[in-house]
Amino acid sequence: MRILLVEDDLVLRVGLKEALEQANFTVDPLGAAEPAEGALGLTTYDLAIVDIGLPGMDGFELIRRIRRRGLDLPILILTARDALEDRVVGLDIGADDYLVKPFLLPELLARIRAITRRSRASANPLISVGVLTLDPANHTADIEGSPLELTGREWSVLEQLMLAAPKVIAKQKLTDSIGHWDNELTPNAVEIYISRLRAKLAGRPVHIRTVRGIGYRLEEGAADV
């Protein structure tokens, strides 16, 4: 799950990024609304966390522009402004939730889970390829009914493979989709995660095939010997 974090307080931005990554989210942190608006045209996000008091364009205007573009991206306002009027405005212009600083991390994580559950309420929340099932809302995976233990990066790689299946996903696209802007994932690192996933899928009726010169494809059936 990829989150766009728009927060101008550097200390808070860095702290939130680290905390959310420890909770197995991919985070793109930005300090202003203008680059965030540009990022939304280049990257698909599962959630945006937006401060109101941003330099230049404020968070309210960013949210208005997101909604005018027709994006149904879930948005959580995270701000020190606790006036009732600000809450009403934020929710009326299209935010899904409003959390006032200071806050406790467990509450933020719970609100993120709730927002993403609601955003998937109208669609099937599960992604399946054969006996392999992924639950994006709860960040879990199972194969043949048994839990599949994955690290955060392994989960993200598997999610992209499953979303692309049965098509091939290019290695560079896979790299870009799960890498952080300030700590780009390399193609060599992706190969390591693919290798680890293959080991965890070994002996199961689903496997990852390498399509030389292009990328990877998740397929049903046992791997070729």
Confidence of residue 61 (pLDDT cuts 50, 70, 90): very high
**What's the confidence (pLDDT) of residue 67?**
94
Pick the closest to residue 136 from 150, 109, 155 (CA basis). Answer: 155
Residue 19 has what DSSP assignment? Answer: H
Domains of the chain: 2-119 (3.40.50.2300), 127-220 (1.10.10.10)
Lowest-confidence region among 57-66, 92-101, 121-130, 202-211: 121-130
Per-residue pLDDT at 112 exceeds 80: yes
Per-residue pLDDT at 225 exceeds 80: no
Confidence of residue 57 (pLDDT cuts 50, 70, 90): very high
Q: What angle do CA 129, 133, 137 make, to 5 degrees?
A: 125
Residue 85 to residue 81: CA distance in whole angstroms? 10
Per-residue pLDDT at 184 exceeds 70: no
Per-residue pLDDT at 17 exceeds 70: yes
Per-residue pLDDT at 190 exceeds 90: no
Per-residue pLDDT at 131 exceeds 70: yes
**What's the confidence (pLDDT) of residue 189?**
84
Of residues 108 and 119, more confidence is placed in 108
Pick the closest to residue 74 from 156, 3, 15, 139 (CA basis). Answer: 3
Q: Both tokens of residue 4?
A: 């766009």
Query: Sheet harboring 206-211: ordered strands across?
Result: 169-170, 215-220, 206-211
DSSP secondary structure, 160-192, as one string:
HHHHHTTS-EEHHHHHHHH-BTTBPPPHHHHHH
Per-residue pLDDT at 69 exceeds 70: yes
- State the average pLDDT for the chain: 89
Residue 155 has what DSSP assignment? Answer: H
Asked if residue 205 has a cis previous peptide bond (ω within 30° of 0), the answer is: no
